[in-house]
Amino acid sequence: MLAHISDSIINNILALSPLIVYGERGVGKTIFLYQLARSLEKHGLSIYFWTTHSSLRTLRSILRSTQLSDSIMIFVVEDYSISLRLEALSKIFDHIKHSLEQKEISCAIILDDFLPVNILLSAKIDPHYAKFLTTMLFWLSTVSRVEGIFFVGSTIENLRTGCPFKARLMAAYKFNFMRISRISRVRELTHVQMTSERIPVTIEKKPLWKAIISARGFVFIKEHS
């Protein structure tokens, strides 16, 4: 069974929406986002969760089960697919539009690996990919500023700079950033502020929480004041 994420941690995460969670490969971003999704579900939010096929295999191996929550709307996209991401996002927005019309909106959009890795790692993006990237960032940023709608997405870290790949664009669209780093089984979660300059610069780091990663996901052991 996944460990419970406390109300104080959840409230702090939601206050950072729209939020990008980043870190090196294998640090636990997928299990953390799924754990967050389950915790938010218990708080009465509708959850839209997507992940990639490769991350889903990792998630199932950690959970030791092939069964995920039936009450969370889950989308599985190909690691490198733009079209499947757009298709899934369109379905999510359709559901949110219907909820808005019914005046029943309180939801979280949680997108694991929300951008294809080939776009993230590309030194130069062609116009087609650039349009996709900016469109997705614009709409996710815009929708998450509607009252009652929250966005958390994950992406990989550029180890050389300590920032997410394409951090400048994300910062330009007013996303917040939270980095997960590791020391053995300990994970430290840090709120990172950075500029939107051509080469992003970290301007402030605020330690948030420490956790032990286990078969129950993130088990939080320390909350910073």
Confidence (pLDDT) at 31: 93
Q: What is the pLDDT of residues 182-205, one digit of tens each?
A: 998 899 999 999 888 877 777 889
Give 24-37 pLDDT, tens digit per residue: 999 999 999 999 99
Q: What pLDDT, on a 0 to 100 scale, did the predictor assign at position 67?
A: 63
**Which residues are within 8 A (CB) of 96 and not within 5 positions of it... i.e. 6 or more apart?**
48, 105, 107, 109, 143, 149
pLDDT band at 65 (very low <50, low <70, confident <90, very high): low
Question: pLDDT band at 64, cuts 50/70/90?
Answer: confident
- Band (107; pLDDT cuts 50, 70, 90): very high
Q: Is the pTM of this model over 0.85?
A: yes
Fold of 7-223: Rossmann fold (3.40.50)
The residues spanned by each domain of the chain are 7-223
pLDDT average, residue stretch 41-60: 89
Coil, strand or helix at 32: helix
Q: Please report the pLDDT score of residue 210 as a whole number.
A: 96
Phi, psi angles (nearest 5°) of residue 191: -80, 120
By the 8 A CB rule, do 118 and 111 touch? no
Q: Find, among 165, 168, 188, the residue nearest to 178 by Cα.
A: 188
Which percentage of the chain shows pLDDT scores above 90? 51
For β-strands 217-223 and 202-214, DSSP reports them as: antiparallel
Q: CB–CB of 53/76 below 8 Å?
A: yes
150-188 pLDDT, tens per residue?
999 999 999 888 889 889 889 999 999 999 999 988 999
User: Residue 146 contacts by C-beta under 8 Å, 6 or more apart in sequence?
Assistant: 100, 105
CB 72 within 8 A of CB 129: no
126-160 burial, b if ≥16 CB within 10 A, otherwise e? eeebeebbeebbeebbebbeeeebbbbbbbbbbee
- DSSP 8-state class, residue 192: E
For residue 100, pLDDT beyond 90? no
Q: What are phi and psi of 113, to 5 degrees?
A: 55, 55
Task: Share the mean pLDDT of the chain.
Answer: 88
